[in-house]
Amino acid sequence: MERKDFKIEVCANSVESVKAAVEAGADRVELCAGMPEGGTTPSWGTIALAREMMPAGLHVIIRPRGGDFLYNEWEREVMLRDIDAARRIGADGVVLGCLTEDGQVDVRLMRRLMAEAGGMSVTFHRAFDMCCDPLAALRDIESLGCHRILTSGQQATAEEGIPLLRQLVAAARNVIIMPGCGVNGGNVSMIARETGAHEFHLSARMPVESGMRYRNTRVSMGGTVQVAEYGRDVSSPQKIKAVIDALLG
């Protein structure tokens, strides 16, 4: 492939990760908080600073909590206000997805959210991987006018999901199918070849040790949920470049 033939989106969990994506030459970021929960809406300050760092390609996840994608009336209002905030800051796109209780795309709610997004690009995120019928969901998402679908092919990783990803790429008429989850420099060329996809989503994170010298290991800020108190994960420009180089052949 030539560089113009594919696009790379980095799932950025912080401003540091946005910096890495820009440095490595990524086309776009999906800005998230709450990565252990699969990504939640980042803070106003994070979005604003990321906007200053990126001339284009800033997409913000709109997800008020972890867990499922069935939202109550209060969560829907939060999502509408978060979309408004992202638009006012100047985000280029939003990333969202809503389902009905029986695992179908919540077309009615999606229409409300997309109307609030105005002219911003809209990606339907991996709520797609929780749909009961992926081809019916594809048709619904296309009818809504979403620009792309982020999916692992309804499997734990995009590599495992290749059979469905290939089917989705072939069936899609006016939406981009973007494989994501476990995409790296070692498998991206094979995923591209086997699916026909041209956009790829990756986190490319690596662990960064805390600078704290004093450490109280008796206390966890996550309570019963075990988290790394003295470390964090940040996207690596080297790992992002490895994916780009692999696609360039």
Segment 148-188, tens digit of pLDDT: 999 999 999 999 999 999 999 999 999 999 999 999 999 99
Q: Quote the mean pLDDT of the chain.
A: 96
Question: What pLDDT, in 10s, does the model give residues 202-212?
Answer: 999 999 999 99
Beta strands in the chain (DSSP E): 7-12, 28-31, 58-61, 93-96, 121-124, 148-151, 176-179, 199-202, 205-209, 231-235
Greater pLDDT, 222 or 165: 165
**pTM higher than the cut 0.85:** yes
Q: Are 84 and 122 in contact (CB under 8 A)?
A: no
> How does residue 223 score in pLDDT terms, banded at 50, 70 and 90?
low
Q: Which residue has the tokens 């008796």?
A: 218
> Is the confidence at residue 224, as pLDDT, over 80?
no
